[in-house]
Amino acid sequence: MDTREKDIENLKDYKYGFTTDIENIRAPKGLNEDVIKFISNIKKEPKWMLDFRLKAFERFKLLKEPNWQKPKYPKIDYQDLYYYSAPKSMKDKPKSLDELDPKLLETYNKLGIPLQEQARLNGIAVDAVFDSVSVATTFKGELTKHGIIFCSMSEAIQKHPDLVKKYLGTVIPTTDHFFATLNSAVFTDGSFVYIPEGVKCPMELSTYFRINASETGQFERTLIIADKGSYVSYLEGCTAPMRDENQLHAANVELIALDDAEIKYSTVQNWYPGDENGKGGIYNFVTKRGLCKGKNSKISWTQVETGSAITWKYPSCILRGDNSIGEFYSIAITNNHQKADTGTKMIHLGKNTKSKIISKGISAGFSDMTYRGLVDINSKAKNSSNYTQCDSLLMGNKCGAHTVPYIKNKNFDSNIAHEATTSKISEEQLHYCQQRGLNPEEAVGLIVNGFCKEVLQQLPMEFAVEAQKLVGISLEGSVG
Positions touching another protein (CB under 8 A) are 68, 379, 392, 394-424
Distance CA 254, CA 316 (A): 10
Q: With respect to another protein, which residue has the nearer C-beta, 72 or 95? A: 72
158 or 389: whose CB is closer to another protein? Answer: 389
Nearer to another protein, 109 or 389 (CB): 389
d(CA 75, CA 63): 15
Distances (CA, A) of 97 to 37, 137, 199, 393: 29, 9, 27, 45
Query: Least distance in Å: CB of 382 to another protein?
Result: 9
Smallest distance, another protein to C-beta of residue 371, A: 9
Nearest to another protein of 415, 457 (CB atom) = 415
- Cα–Cα dist 428/414, whole Å: 40
Give residues with Cβ within 8 angstroms of 81, minimum separation 6.
29, 30, 31, 215, 216, 217, 248
CB of 407 to another protein, least distance (A): 4
Least Å from the CB of residue 346 to another protein:
14
Report the distance separating Cα 259 and Cα 256, nearest Å. 10
CA 72 – CA 74 distance, rounded (Å) = 7
Q: How far is the CB of 477 from another protein (least distance, A)?
A: 16
Q: Closer CB to another protein, residue 276 or residue 419?
A: 419
DSSP annotation of 346 reads E
Q: Shortest Cβ distance from residue 359 to another protein (Å)?
A: 13
Cβ-based nearer residue to another protein, 48 or 406: 406
Nearest-angstrom CA–CA distance, 31 and 79 = 5
Burial class (CB in 10 A: 0-12, 13-18, 19+), 234: buried
SS3 142: helix
How far apart are CB 219 and another protein at their closest, in Å? 29
Q: 217 with 249: CB under 8 angstroms?
A: yes
Taking the least distance from each CB to another protein, the nearer of 3 and 397 is 397
With contact defined as beta carbons under 8 Å apart, do 316 and 281 qualify? no
Choice between 164 and 399, CB closer to another protein? 399
**Rounded Cα distance, 173 and 333, in Å:** 31
Report the nearest approach of another protein to the CB of residue 195 (Å): 36
Do the Cβ atoms of 280 and 238 come closer than 8 Å? no
